A and B are shown apart, each in its own frame.
Chain A
Amino acid sequence: MTDTRHLKLRVNDREYERVVETRLTLADFLRHEIGLTGTHVGCEHGVCGACTVLVEGRSCRSCLLLAVQAHGREIRTVEGLAAADGTLSPLQQAFWETHALQCGFCIPGVLMTLTELLAANQTPSEAEIRERITGNICRCTGYQSIIEATLLAAERLRQGREVA
């Protein structure tokens, strides 16, 4: 099982080149090869959604994708959500203000899923948000504060105003 391949991809606007085993998952590549441990692995069978990243802007289970399948792609992870100066994204800021997280383990995946949602729809209803995050399991919060945070972030995005 030592079949290897040359891999080149962009993660959070930075280019990476590595020779990797073809069986290496994208999640393990991000976490263990390039040190981006913000993406978490919760089930390794594509149900819990903790490992969700954006590939070309679309949410994707990084535990079900091989790293080599991401060759030439643009990836965004939780480390790439805040601005370069550290300013939190409106969604991250809203999560902080509404206590939308507890242990925080599932949250990177939740943030990526909802970042994708808000990029396409800045007027999501509660039902639409609930439906969208059925692909992300949270054992701590009961989801309620996650929904409150998303509605708050959407409102601020609509108003286009600077976040406090």
Chain B
Amino acid sequence: MGAKWLGATVKRKEDPALLTGKGHFVDDIHLPGTLHAAFVRSAHAHARIRGVDTSAARAMPGVHLVLTFADLPQPLRTNSLPLLVPHPAITQGFMPYALASNEASYAGEPLAVVVADSRYIAEDAAALVAVDYEPLPAVCDCVAAIEPVSPVAHANASSNIAAQFTVNHGDCHAAFADAPHVFGERIFLHRGGAFFMECRGIVATHDAVLDAFTIYLSSQGSHRIKRAMLDVLDLHDNQMRVITPDVGGGFGPKGAFYPEYPTIAVSAKLLGRPVKWIEDRHENFLATHQERDQCWDVEIAVDGEAKIRGLRGRLIHDAGAFVPWGIVLPWIAATTVPGPYVLPNYKMDIVVALTNKISTTPVRGAGRPQGVFVMERLMDRVARELELDPAEVRRRNFIMPEQMPYQVGIIFRDGRPVIYDSGDYPASQTKALEAADYAGFAARQAEARRQGRYLGIGISNSVEGTGLGPYEGATVRISETGKVVVYTGATPQGQSHKTTLAQIAADSLGISYEDVTVATADTANIAFGMGSFAARTAVNAGSSVHLAAVAVAEKIRQVAGEMMEVSPGDLELREGFAQVRGVPGLRRSFREIAVKAVGMPGFSMAGGLPPGLENTAYFTPEQSTYANGTHIAEVEVDIETGQVSILRYTVLHDCGRMINPAVVYGQVVGGVAHGVGNALFERLVYDDHAQPLSVNFGDYFLPLATDVPHVDVHHTETPSPLNPLGLKGAGEGGTIAAIAAIIAAVENALSPFGVTIAEAPISPQRIVELLGDAALGRTR
């Protein structure tokens, strides 16, 4: 079969409903008899809970149920929430209960739930719940947290260190001992949160006849939510169905499992009625996982030619109060540092610190933007110190295409050695420099300076592990009506899976992608699933759809061959028919073949084939496949106000073979916008008592249309050798390199004043502060 649909820019199957208000997001689901929940949340970042008085709330008309920890049915008083990604390095794996019992560990931790006739009444009643707090010292700063004198984030913790481990290869000690140049930096990164436009939400129902739950949830993976629910509620597989409807953005945190979910489920069972909880934006700032703080103390050793000899240091990662995703964030961050460069010796000591803030779990990029930022800041430092062009320093250090597959020497979070499978990094930078007219920048900068304006340019290269295992699955089934449905556990949040997976299936089956229905994220439809995160769905689900569709196509030919008494090899699939090659009139429809394949009662199956036009495939990649890219930002900084304007933004992106170029384009541009926020705007501010101060969009700035530049996107397609279609992930690359490129450009613009920047985000206020007196008298 030729690839008619794979690689084609086609309109999305998702859009007609979404454009006309006919989508089904979780709060759009109205089941008869639904009651509405509101949570009572800790007002303190750290406090002992001496008592919770719910009597006034229970007495309010319209209130049906109030639960505190003591009221929770078992096993929720025994089972804490599951740690999704355990690791032996975790020595203090704190996890919360569905409702906090006697200690609150972050401001916003759920202490009680109120279920009422309406959300309005539930919130009124929640306000009447009286909590008797004994405030405890709160741990706010992740660097101070690991000092021996720090108070502890949990009363029964031995320290605030949740985990310690080292990523290491080569011999840094020797590499640094006689290095011609060693440069050190302390780099502080704050990554904010996901801030999807649709907050989290759940509708839970319990069927007393079947003793089984049906849960509608805004998530990034129905199957993992189901597994966590079964685990924490100690249920059998048949007692939980999780369905993720339309999702209004995920970006990572909707892939986690939260205390509200089992609490709402048991409320529905206790009441015998559907219960809905929709997170409001204030709760979203308090209680949805963030990514937040990392502090890196790093040194780079280079030779006289600016070639890297080694890189070493320590990373302190702010875990927040609990460790639901284990140590994946700092692990990914540390293993992303080498990027596209030859790094012969590398050692990073990682300390994961507990603080009294909401937990940190992956947000678009998942630690990679930080790793890239560290390496690219060091590259610029080397360029500055050795008086070389930043592009030239990078060029001297690239891994060359003929070195592929390339062993980096370290272990990735998938447990496998980091082996870059493919990519041409020098070409990526060269093409990006050309597209950005890097050669002409010096003249643009000089001309601007003559006008009293300060322009800067920044380069950032990244390599991104995508398509992480273990697997995703797909069932391709042709029903007796001849209609084709693809079932998968992939759980889209805007990435167009219903279009791209249909494109893949259509090619093997010889039909239009419009004739393929893709049913996602319902645990009743396919046994196993992981969900959509880590830029993994194209590779894992896409490959599975391909394998299953190829198998179904073969089955169609076998059954049709029996029906027409011809060899299956003489049949081709075209527009819903199996027809004899070169004889268009001799054919059978999918409908006829499907009816035959299902069989008739009492009649033997044709040819002894198993029933049905159906196949299920689980693609299990051996390792991640590595996408890469180069970003070039050109900015102007107003030295009076500190305002940064991005004048030009160029991306060279390589995510292997593209299923739908318009979808990839959207992912890249949207990813850059997220990076713009991380570089210039997004900061979650906490006071010294770990009380969050930025809890609405007036305090926390998301990038607006006037903040995001026009992004000039260019592609190279280096197919991955690791999966049948040559795919790599595309969902995060736009974000990963952006922060480093923008900050480098700001620093470059301010170079006349000797300003260096080792932090992100950077606000106008901070830029003015860094300029200090240097800029006085230099304004236009």
Contact = CB atoms under 8 A, between A and B. Distances in A.
A106 interface: yes
B554 to A, nearest CB: 33
Nearest to B662: A99
B412 interface: no
A83 B666 CA distance: 28
A101 B704 contact: no
B198 interface: yes
B11 interface: yes
B120 A96 contact: no
A79 B22 CA distance: 8
Interface string A122-156: 00000001110110111111111111000000000
A105 B20 contact: no
Interface residues of B, number: 55
B493 A37 contact: no
A92 interface: yes
A77 B495 CA distance: 25
Contact of A96 (B11, B198, B247, B670): B11
Contacts of A107: 18-19
B719 to A, nearest CB: 23
Q: From DSSP, what is the main secondary structure of chain A's interface residues? A: loop
Contacts of B708: 142-144
A23 B121 CA distance: 11
B669 A96 contact: no
Interface stretch (A40-48, A54-62, A66-74): A40-48
A131 B707 CA distance: 10
A7 interface: no
A9 interface: no
B281 A139 contact: no
B120 A23 contact: yes
B248 A105 contact: yes
A24 B665 CA distance: 41
B496 interface: yes
Contact of B21 (A24, A41, A108): A108
A134 B22 CA distance: 25
A31 interface: yes
A139 B19 contact: no
Interface in A3-44: 21, 23-24, 31-32, 35-44
Contact of A45 (B15, B120, B696): B696
B20 A47 contact: no
B766 interface: no
Contacts of B662: 99
A107 B194 CA distance: 18
Contacts of A77: 21
Contacts of A75: none
Interface in B686-708: 696-698, 702, 704-706, 708
Interface of B: 11-12, 14-16, 18-23, 25, 27-28, 30, 120, 124, 194-199, 246-249, 251, 280-281, 493-496, 662-663, 665-666, 669-674, 696-698, 702, 704-706, 708, 710-711, 734
Interface of A: 1, 21, 23-24, 31-32, 35-45, 47-48, 50, 77-79, 81-82, 86, 88, 92, 95-97, 99, 101-108, 111, 129-131, 133-134, 136-147
9 contacts: A81-B20, A101-B494, A102-B495, A105-B196, A105-B246, A111-B19, A134-B706, A141-B670, A142-B671
Given A96-B12, A99-B666, A104-B23, 17 more contacts: A31-B27, A45-B696, A102-B495, A102-B670, A106-B197, A106-B248, A134-B705, A134-B706, A137-B704, A139-B196, A139-B251, A139-B670, A141-B669, A142-B708, A143-B705, A144-B669, A147-B705
